[in-house]
Amino acid sequence: GGIITQTPKFLIGQEGQKLTLKCQQNFNHDTMYWYRQDSGKGLRLIYYSITENDLQKGDLSEGYDASREKKSSFSLTVTSAQKNEMAVFLCASSINRNTEVFFGKGTRLTVV
């Protein structure tokens, strides 16, 4: 088995601030994802990457940047935090588009 580690677990930012969320996986998976989940709602895809140094935009990419410098790590940057961005950000990975997606425990973002 493997594990996906997200840091930090909780992130408090100020409106307008640039914030970075980090994710590491030891599954040796090629594909990694960042999803956003608002309270009690479904998952919306922000960015994904199918291999090292690859980046693909999801449906919610505006206001975010991502970086995949290594196969095992995928980071997400909120370029300018907004008041309505209180959400949980979930990092995930899979071997490819046809296999199970595994999730980290999430980073809970609060903007004050």
Q: What are the residues binding another protein (CB under 8 A)?
A: 31, 33, 35, 40-45, 48, 50, 56, 58-59, 90, 94, 96-98, 100-101, 103-106
Contact call for residues 90 and 106 (beta carbons, < 8 A)? yes
Closest distance of CB 60 from another protein, Å: 11
Closest distance of CB 75 from another protein, Å: 18
Nearer to another protein, 19 or 106 (CB): 106
What number of CA atoms fall less than 13 Å from residue 81's CA on the CB side? 19
Nearer to another protein, 14 or 42 (CB): 42
* Strand ranges (E), the chain: 4-7, 10-13, 19-25, 31-37, 43-49, 56-57, 64-70, 73-78, 87-94, 102-103, 107-111
Nearer to another protein, 14 or 40 (CB): 40
